[in-house]
Amino acid sequence: MTSTEHTTVQGATAFIPAQASPYQGDIARYWDQEARPVNLRLGDVDGLYHHHYGIGDVDHAALEGTADGACEKKLIAELHRLESAQADFLLDHLGPIGRDDTLVDAGCGRGGSMVMAHQRFGCKVEGVTLSAKQADFANRRARELRIEDSVQARVSNMLDTPFDAGQAAASWNNESTMYVDLHDLFAEHSRVLEVGGRYVTITGCWNPRYGQPSKWVSQINAHFECNIHSRREYLRAMADNRLVPQAVVDLTAATLPYWELRATSSLVTGIEEAFINSYKDGSFQYVLIAADRV
């Protein structure tokens, strides 16, 4: 793939796909430089590195303990368990996948979901991310696990991937749709998916019932340099691209315990309040959408 070295005003460099927009260059640099303890220390628990949030009830019994260090360790393990439960829930919706199938993870981050998908289905998983550092990290983990022949991450724009038409039995975005135009994104998934294939996303979206993006949603956008779409936009862009929703699951209530637990930890990033308030006032929702490629 042709790529270029871009230098930022701060002097940091990033290896950016040639067809990427200036905005995508910003996002590549953001993820190249990202090293928040909340992401790395949770991944260190079992070697699955996620950049997404958790779902499910907190196991309070698992958090009990007296010594300070032990408490913190238990909390990290519990947050990580909820993040892996989120990825498992996404994989539950991919449908029947065989060992010979290929899956595509669009916006794969450090590759935690890819590893889980391979471990579950025994199949090939191809990931794309804008960040060369993330792709290197994911590929290094795959080598450590000796699954590099099946799990591969590359630096590529998910709106313009190197994959063949109809190559994938299923594809997904795990918290990566807020960086792109949804029509462009779903056109590319629709191209890469085989007819009858399955597309799944888990994402935060603003709730059309609220009216417009709330101040909390705007704060989240500013924090992550992203553009959260509405639930309505997802369904419209899917309908326009031969993706027919099979399930829409509101995970808002299921993700709140994760956020409330995280807000009490030393790993807070400052954005917890915006997530909790917007989930509670109904302006923001955490959803899974699974769609058939027809």
Token readout for 73 is 């360790």
Among the listed residues 26, 29, 31, 283, the single contact to ligand SAH using CB under 6 A: 31
Among the listed residues 94, 159, 243, 290, the single contact to ligand SAH using CB under 6 A: 159
Question: Closest Cα partner for 167 from 245, 101, 98, 238?
Answer: 101
Q: Is 255 in the site for ligand SAH (CB under 6 A)?
A: no
Stretch that binds ligand SAH, among 171-179, 242-250, 267-275, 282-290 (CB under 6 A): 171-179
Distance between CA atoms of residues 292 and 199, nearest Å: 6
Q: Is 182 in the site for ligand SAH (CB under 6 A)?
A: no
Q: Is 128 in the site for ligand SAH (CB under 6 A)?
A: yes
| Nearest position to ligand SAH, beta carbon | 109
Length of the chain: 294
Q: How many CB atoms lie under 10 A from the CB of residue 7? A: 10
Q: Is 113 in the site for ligand SAH (CB under 6 A)?
A: yes
Distances (CA, A) of 290 to 95, 145, 200, 256: 10, 29, 4, 21
Stretch that binds ligand SAH, among 24-32, 209-217, 268-276, 281-289 (CB under 6 A): 24-32
Question: Cβ-count burial of 206 within 10 angstroms (0-12 exposed, 13-18 middle, 19+ buried)?
Answer: buried
Rounded to a whole number of angstroms, the minimum distance from the CB of residue 128 to ligand SAH is 5
Q: Are 227 and 170 in contact (CB under 8 A)?
A: no
Burial 152-166 (b: 16+ CB within 10 A, else e): bbbbbbbbebebeee
Rounded to a whole number of angstroms, the minimum distance from the CB of residue 166 to ligand SAH is 20
Rounded to a whole number of angstroms, the minimum distance from the CB of residue 31 to ligand SAH is 4
Contacting positions for ligand SAH (CB under 6 A):
24, 27, 31, 50-52, 107-109, 112-113, 128-131, 134, 157-159, 174-176, 179-180
